[in-house]
């Protein structure tokens, strides 16, 4: 067996791996590890946008009464309130988001898409000609390379977090009319959306007053003609961050704006008059953990439909990675024993693994298990390399090698709807199992896999029912702990 590589304490132990539990038991059969030809995970969804002329759109094309509500500069902590109002009114809207803010609020961006709104490109960093803006300058006057970078990074951020490729664009401050900008938008099939009516909610004071809300309603509902595009804000994207920035006036004004347009017979539509996308129920989010920033502490994350979002323990900022696709199940492990974690997905019984927690094609592809099995990984024998396992019903199958062969161990633990976890709870260098029942009861065992009575010496805990639970070495101490992921941050669960 290879010796463990010299590395930081946290690296010398096995760490986190997780898998969502809960699939129906299938008949148990020999589980073969069969290498298959190498290949990559499918790329993210291709663009399906219609051709764009690149010309600036000020109102909704077509005839009859219609209105497009648009929100700029989010997502932010205000966006959920905006979404709540829209949902209560049965109205859909368009959100011009910045890539930076999507990375900061990925759950909110996914909710925008899940509820059938349009998510659109508002650049990565919202460049403006104000002190502190990077890059600084009127967007459509920036060098073409800078504009291209802003457009493409924002599209990638939206795609990586939501799976949707934006088809519409609005320039920061409405600066989007130069020939360079129009050509770039045409190339990218991005519709160039300005507005008809400015609600001027961006100049409202922090505390929403009756007067402020009245002013927003009046501005948002006046003078737009029969097919206006209405500019509103659910975030703040100026380089001069204003701690007083507040979208309470917008939230308070929104029901009245909607009622006013409804009363006049306007239909709510998209800025380019195309149908709204179908609401997409959010894919399940599976908690995961890996040290993606290399500081020796595991970073908590969520996997959903091929999108991994980790919260860096070093910077406190999200780290977004794409690997896999909808329907895949995640697994994390140090496949080559170099002390660094890779990520992987199981797809219909085939594992597509990478040696690092970064995007890119799979470097190792092996067959293990069957469609419907829930994957996991761990260093079951303590040799410093992680190998796969899978959960099927109440049984967990564990392989000693990442290659052709059969499972070395089978372990029964917990119920068929439990989430199964692997971790080195006692810091001895070997991973063992734990289960989380749907009602939140947790059992972990330190007994090496294959022990006749794995639950002997088990330790227990309770977490809130339905909590997102992951195992990781959160503090770089050389052993794993269970944690509930609340707002992404791990809250360690004490075992007794």
Catalytic residues: 72, 233
8 Å CB contact between 321 and 358: yes
d(CA 342, CA 424): 17
Q: How far is CA 68 from the centre of its chain?
A: 27
Least distance (Å) from Ca ion to the CB of residue 22? 25
Least distance (Å) from Ca ion to the CB of residue 293? 4
385 contacts Ca ion (rule: CB under 5 A):
yes
162 contacts Ca ion (rule: CB under 5 A):
no
Residues numbered 315-374 forming contacts with Ca ion, rule: CB under 5 A: 334, 336, 338, 340
d(CA 239, CA 367): 50
**Nearer CB in complex with Ca ion: 140/293:** 293
Residue with tokens 């709540």: 84
Single residue of 361, 364, 426, 459 touching Ca ion by CB under 5 A: 426
214 contacts Ca ion (rule: CB under 5 A):
no
8 Å CB contact between 435 and 257: no
d(CA 69, CA 268): 7
What tokens appear for 388 in the block? 């796969």
d(CA 476, CA 314): 12
**Nearer CB in complex with Ca ion: 210/496:** 496
Bridge partners, 136 (sequence order): 128
Question: Binding-site residue total for Ca ion (CB under 5 A)?
Answer: 18
d(CA 177, CA 171): 9
Single residue of 381, 418, 473, 480 touching Ca ion by CB under 5 A: 381
d(CA 278, CA 17): 34
- Around 390, how many Cα atoms within 13 Å sit in the side-chain half-sphere? 30
What tokens appear for 378 in the block? 């761990």
473 contacts Ca ion (rule: CB under 5 A):
no
Residues numbered 287-326 forming contacts with Ca ion, rule: CB under 5 A: 291, 293, 295, 297, 299, 313
What tokens appear for 94 in the block? 């368009």
The span of 23-31, 225-233, 243-251, 377-385 binding Ca ion (CB under 5 A) equals: 377-385
8 Å CB contact between 208 and 216: no
The span of 101-109, 197-205, 319-327, 416-424 binding Ca ion (CB under 5 A) equals: 416-424
**Nearer CB in complex with Ca ion: 147/309:** 309
**Nearer CB in complex with Ca ion: 140/291:** 291
- Please calculate the CA angle 83-54-133 and round it to the nearest 5 degrees: 65
The span of 115-123, 126-134, 243-251, 423-431 binding Ca ion (CB under 5 A) equals: 423-431
Least distance (Å) from Ca ion to the CB of residue 431? 6
**Nearer CB in complex with Ca ion: 107/428:** 428
Single residue of 152, 198, 214, 428 touching Ca ion by CB under 5 A: 428
Residue 417 phi/psi, 5° resolution?
-100, 5
451 contacts Ca ion (rule: CB under 5 A):
no
**Nearer CB in complex with Ca ion: 201/480:** 480
| Contacts to Ca ion by CB under 5 A | 291, 293, 295, 297, 299, 313, 334, 336, 338, 340, 379, 381, 383, 385, 424, 426, 428, 430
């Amino acid at each position: 067996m290879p010796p463990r590589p010299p590395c930081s304490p946290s690296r010398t132990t096995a760490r986190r791996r997780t898998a969502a539990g809960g699939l129906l038991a299938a008949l148990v059969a020999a589980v073969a590890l069969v290498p298959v030809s190498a290949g990559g995970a499918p790329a993210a969804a291709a663009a399906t946008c219609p051709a764009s002329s690149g010309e600036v759109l000020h109102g909704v094309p077509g005839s009859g009464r219609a209105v497009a509500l648009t929100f700029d500069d989010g997502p932010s902590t205000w966006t959920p309130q905006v979404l709540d109002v829209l949902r209560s009114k049965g109205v859909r809207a368009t959100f011009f988001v910045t890539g930076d803010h999507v990375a900061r609020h990925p759950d909110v961006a996914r909710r925008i898409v899940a509820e059938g709104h349009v998510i659109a490109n508002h650049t990565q960093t919202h460049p403006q000609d104000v002190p502190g803006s990077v890059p600084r300058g009127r967007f459509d006057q920036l060098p073409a390379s800078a504009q291209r970078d802003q457009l493409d990074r924002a599209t990638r951020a939206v795609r990586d977090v939501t799976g949707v490729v934006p088809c519409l664009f609005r320039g920061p401050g409405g600066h989007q009319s130069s020939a360079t900008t129009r050509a770039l938008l045409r190339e990218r099939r991005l519709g160039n959306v300005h507005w008809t009516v400015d609600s001027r909610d961006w100049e409202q004071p922090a505390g929403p007053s009756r007067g402020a809300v009245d002013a927003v309603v009046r501005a948002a509902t006046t003078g737009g003609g029969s097919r206006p595009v209405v500019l509103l804000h659910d975030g703040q994207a100026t380089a001069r961050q204003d701690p007083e920035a507040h979208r309470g006036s917008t939230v308070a004004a929104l029901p009245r704006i909607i009622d006013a347009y409804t009363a006049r017979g306007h239909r709510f539509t998209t800025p380019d008059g195309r149908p709204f996308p179908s609401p997409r129920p959010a894919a399940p989010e599976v908690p995961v953990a890996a040290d993606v920033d290399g500081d020796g502490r595991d970073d908590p994350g969520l996997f959903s439909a091929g999108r991994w979002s980790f919260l860096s323990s070093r910077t406190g900022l999200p780290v977004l990675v794409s690997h896999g696709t909808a329907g895949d199940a995640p697994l994390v492990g140090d496949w080559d024993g170099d002390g660094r974690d890779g990520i992987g997905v199981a797809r219909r019984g085939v594992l597509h693994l990478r040696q690092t927690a970064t995007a890119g094609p799979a470097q190792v592809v092996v067959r293990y298990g069957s469609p419907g099995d829930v994957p996991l990984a761990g260093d079951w024998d303590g040799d410093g390399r992680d190998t796969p396992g899978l959960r099927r019903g109440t049984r967990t199958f564990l392989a000693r090698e990442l290659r052709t062969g059969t499972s070395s161990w089978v372990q029964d633990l917990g119920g068929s709807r439990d989430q199964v976890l692997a971790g080195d709870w006692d810091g001895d260098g070997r991973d063992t199992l734990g289960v989380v029942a749907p009602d939140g009861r947790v059992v972990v065992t330190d007994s090496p896999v294959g022990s006749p009575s794995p639950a002997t010496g088990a330790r227990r805990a309770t977490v809130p029912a339905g909590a997102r639970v992951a195992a990781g070495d959160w503090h770089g101490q050389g052993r794993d702990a269970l944690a509930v992921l609340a707002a992404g941050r791990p809250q360690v669960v004490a075992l007794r």
